[in-house]
């Protein structure tokens, strides 16, 4: 039977799979908020004030629950114990977790791309730009992008070398805080990014985090 | 294969007739045999959008039994392959035609020997408009980005579902079961037809499911007309998502149609806009829709609510 809106569980409400990554959760949250927020033309005439409040608070709860590993685990267990979803969905989820959506393992990185990038760096004389950037204690996504572009390196090549998804790379370069992955992933990504550009990872991570004031 | 599309959407002036005429012309140029049926009884104006004066005959001749078939009153237009069944001569009273007459018209329309049958509906949610809209299993809803137009479109959509449900329940002799709830729902604020389905399922699971399937047969697409740069570009997709979640999961977004001042000028000058200004954004938007409707475009990923 088709579910009514008020009966949707948090995953259905956000339209995300049961193994959604926190990145997907953030995206879905942003997406659904744009539809139900007070100023949205799409639902302008649709709800009474209290109805909208209820919907928005359910969305808020969904987000805050699923984004928090511990709360999410409790919520999942509850879904299983009430029979809402079968528990193999959870085990599937764990299986998936072993291969996180963010490919952090550098062992899988493509060495050819790394070699190509290295060559470009050697050919280019942008050492000054890099040193200059690292002198500041704030490093923005824009700085990283400037450097990458000055080196003539495409985003695609960074993706191939680091296996960080292009959407995440774009979010990093745009300082798009809402779409950035959780901090622990972010740090690992920034390290890979820095290494690919042969920059000091620690300096890049510290500068970047400081800049977005995590 | 014959395909019938209803073009409706509550508010007058949202561009239903303009879109019906334009899609008809483009489909005809695609080599399809197309008939436009003007079902805005009492206020029909489709001929004007085709650059024509008041047609000498139309639906009235068929209703008065002065024509043996509906096809006979389909007039050719200046566009090859495009025909028009007008209703200009149908007086205002005919807007309240008898039920038997209405059924006869509905059946005749369903059997018109054309590749594409496009039904141009009037505004509002009276029973005739809803019944005509439901002739086609596929409906196109036209709205503009204004809050009032969107509100009317939601109301119209809800009315279409309730009407379909009511007719089916009557047919199944089950109307009495939830007459009260339906009547309440059609008066109150927008509530999902799913609420009714769940009442039916609670009373009688097996039959309830049948009605759920019945409503699921309907396929609707939304068109956002008079689109301008300053409008949120995701609005169409958002509206469809809202329909799928709060009405019934049967909606897809067909696309935006850009606003162009020259649409109005063309009508005044009795020019056909898409013939006079073929290289405008508005026409390319319409062409994209035709590609979609004729299946030339790759099926987009359907955005539907979960089942
Ligand atoms: N895409 C458009 N751009 C500019 N004007 C439009 C557009 N679509 C419709 N119009 C204008 O809106 C008016 C109403 O259109 P019409 O098709 O008669 O609406 P409806 O049939 O829904 O009542 C027409 O006068 C036309 O000039
Ligand atoms: Mg009209």
Please, what are the domains in chain B? 3-136+260-294 (3.40.50.300)
**pLDDT higher for B17 or B194?**
B17
Q: Answer whether A4 sits within 8 Å of B198, measured CB to CB.
A: yes
Residue A42 alpha carbon to ligand 2 centre in Å: 24
Question: With bands split at pLDDT 50, 70 and 90, how would you rate the model's confidence at A205?
Answer: very high
Q: What is the CATH number of domain A104-211?
A: 1.10.260.40
Give the one of B148, B212, B241 whose C-beta lies nearest to A1's C-beta.
Answer: B212
Residue A105 clears pLDDT 70, i.e. is over it:
no
Q: Where in chain A is the domain with CATH 1.10.260.40?
A: 104-211
Reported as a single tens digit per residue, the pLDDT across B97-145 is: 778 888 999 999 999 999 999 999 999 888 889 999 999 989 999 999 9
Stretch A24-36: mean pLDDT: 94
pLDDT, position B303: 42
Stretch A34-51: mean pLDDT: 92
Question: In this complex, is the C-beta atom of B230 within 8 Å of any C-beta atom belonging to chain A?
Answer: no
Stretch B162-168: mean pLDDT: 89
Q: Answer whether B147 sits within 8 Å of A1, measured CB to CB.
A: no
pLDDT, position B172: 80
Tokens 């005509």 identify what position? B132
DSSP letter assigned to residue B119: E
| CA proximity to B118, closest of B7, B10, B220, B283 | B7
Highest mean pLDDT among A14-18, A149-153, B237-241: B237-241
Listed in order, strand segments (DSSP E) in chain B are 3-8, 34-39, 75-76, 82-85, 116-121, 138-143, 219-227, 251-258
Lowest mean pLDDT among A54-63, B21-30, B48-57, B271-280: B48-57
**pLDDT higher for A33 or B204?**
A33
Question: With bands split at pLDDT 50, 70 and 90, how would you rate the model's confidence at A107?
Answer: very low
**In this structure, which residue's CA is closest to atom 9 in ligand 1?**
B15
CATH entry 3.40.50.2300 includes domain A5-99: no
Q: Characterize A83-106 residue by residue with b for buried, 16 or more Cβ atoms within 10 angstroms of its Cβ, and e for exposed.
A: eeeeeebbeeeeeeeeeebbbbee
Which of A38, A39, A45, A51 is the mutation pick for testing B, counting most B CBs within 10 A?
A: A45
Q: What are the helix (H) ranges across B122-260?
A: 127-133, 147-171, 175-187, 193-203, 205-216, 235-246
Would you say B223 and B142 are in contact if contact means Cβ atoms under 8 Å apart?
Answer: yes
Lowest mean pLDDT among A169-173, B95-99, B213-217, B274-278: B95-99
Question: With bands split at pLDDT 50, 70 and 90, how would you rate the model's confidence at B226?
Answer: very high
Stretch B176-185: mean pLDDT: 74
The structure tokens listed for A5 are 């809106």
Residues shown for chain B: 307
pLDDT, position B297: 63
pLDDT, position A99: 34
Question: In this complex, is the C-beta atom of B249 within 8 Å of any C-beta atom belonging to chain A?
Answer: yes
Question: Which residues of chain A neighbour B238 with C-beta distances below 8 Å?
Answer: 34-35, 40-42
**pLDDT higher for B21 or B54?**
B21
**In this structure, which residue's CA is closest to atom 14 in ligand 1?**
B13
pLDDT, position A106: 35
Residue B185 alpha carbon to ligand 2 centre in Å: 28
The ipTM is 0.86
pLDDT, position B1: 77
Give the one of B192, B239, B249 whose C-beta lies nearest to A42's C-beta.
Answer: B239
Would you say B208 and B197 are in contact if contact means Cβ atoms under 8 Å apart?
Answer: yes
Residue A97 clears pLDDT 80, i.e. is over it:
no
Residue A78, number of CB atoms within 10 A of its CB:
11
Lowest mean pLDDT among A143-157, B61-75, B108-122, B196-210: B196-210
Percent of chain A at pLDDT exceeding 90: 37
Would you say B49 and B82 are in contact if contact means Cβ atoms under 8 Å apart?
Answer: no
Highest mean pLDDT among B27-41, B92-106, B202-216: B27-41
Question: Which residues of chain A neighbour B246 with C-beta distances below 8 Å?
Answer: 5, 46
Sequence-distant (6+) residues with CB within 8 A of A172 are A141, A144, A164, A180, A186, A189, A190, A193, A208
Q: Answer whether B195 sits within 8 Å of A4, measured CB to CB.
A: yes
Residue B116 alpha carbon to ligand 2 centre in Å: 19
Question: With bands split at pLDDT 50, 70 and 90, how would you rate the model's confidence at B152?
Answer: very high
Q: Where in chain A is the domain with CATH 1.10.287.110?
A: 5-99
**pLDDT higher for B37 or A184?**
B37
pLDDT, position B301: 44
Residue A91 clears pLDDT 70, i.e. is over it:
no
Residue B280 clears pLDDT 90, i.e. is over it:
yes
B16 Cβ closer than 6 Å to some ligand 1 atom: yes
Mean pLDDT of chain A: 83
Q: Answer whether B150 sits within 8 Å of A42, measured CB to CB.
A: yes
């Amino acid at each position: 039977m088709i579910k009514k809106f008020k009966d949707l569980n948090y995953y259905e409400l956000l339209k995300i799979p049961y193994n959604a990554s926190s990145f997907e959760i953030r995206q879905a949250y942003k997406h659904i908020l744009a539809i139900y927020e007070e100023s949205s033309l799409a639902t302008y005439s649709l709800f009474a004030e209290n109805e909208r409040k209820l919907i928005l608070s359910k969305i808020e709860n969904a987000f805050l629950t699923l984004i928090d590993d511990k709360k999410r685990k409790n919520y999942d267990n509850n879904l299983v114990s009430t029979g809402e979803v079968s528990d193999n969905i959870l085990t599937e989820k764990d299986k998936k977790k072993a291969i996180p959506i963010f490919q952090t393992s550098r062992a899988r990185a493509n060495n050819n791309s790394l070699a190509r990038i290295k060559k470009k760096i050697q050919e280019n004389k942008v050492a000054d730009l890099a040193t200059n950037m690292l002198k500041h204690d704030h490093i923005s996504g824009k700085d990283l992008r400037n450097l990458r572009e000055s080196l003539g390196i495409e985003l695609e090549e960074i993706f191939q070398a680091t296996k960080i998804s292009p959407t995440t790379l774009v979010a990093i370069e745009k300082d798009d805080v809402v779409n950035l992955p959780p901090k622990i992933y972010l740090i690992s990504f920034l390290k890979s990014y820095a290494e690919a550009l042969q920059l000091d990872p620690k300096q890049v991570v510290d500068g970047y985090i400081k800049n977005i004031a995590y | 294969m014959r395909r019938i599309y209803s073009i409706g959407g509550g508010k007058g002036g949202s561009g239903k007739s303009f879109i019906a005429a334009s899609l008809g012309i483009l489909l005809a140029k695609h080599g399809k045999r197309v008939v436009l049926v003007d079902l805005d009884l009492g206020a029909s104006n489709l001929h004007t959008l085709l650059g024509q004066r008041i047609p000498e005959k139309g639906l009235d001749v068929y209703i008065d039994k002065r024509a043996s078939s509906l096809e006979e009153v389909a007039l050719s237009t200046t566009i090859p392959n495009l025909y028009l069944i007008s209703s200009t001569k149908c007086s205002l009273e005919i807007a309240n035609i008898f039920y038997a007459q209405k059924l006869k018209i509905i059946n005749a329309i369903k059997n018109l020997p054309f590749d594409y049958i496009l039904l141009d509906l009037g505004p509002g949610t009276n029973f005739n408009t809803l019944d005509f809209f439901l002739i086609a299993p596929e409906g196109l809803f036209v709205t503009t980005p204004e809050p009032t137009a969107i509100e009317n479109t939601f109301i119209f959509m809800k009315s279409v579902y309730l009407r379909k449900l009511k007719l089916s329940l009557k047919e199944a002799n089950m109307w009495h079961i939830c007459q009260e709830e339906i009547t309440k729902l059609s008066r109150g604020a927008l509530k999902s037809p799913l609420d009714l389905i769940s009442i039916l399922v609670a009373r009688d699971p097996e039959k309830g499911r049948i009605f759920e399937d019945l409503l699921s047969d309907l396929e609707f697409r939304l068109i956002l007309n008079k689109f301008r740069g300053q409008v949120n570009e995701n609005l169409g997709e958002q509206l469809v998502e809202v329909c799928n979640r709060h009405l019934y999961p049967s909606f897809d977004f067909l696309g935006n149609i850009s606003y162009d001042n020259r649409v109005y000028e063309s009508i005044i000058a009795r020019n056909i806009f898409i013939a006079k200004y073929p290289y405008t954004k508005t026409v390319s938007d319409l062409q994209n829709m035709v590609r979609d409707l004729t299946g030339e475009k790759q099926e987009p990923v359907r955005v539907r609510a979960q089942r």
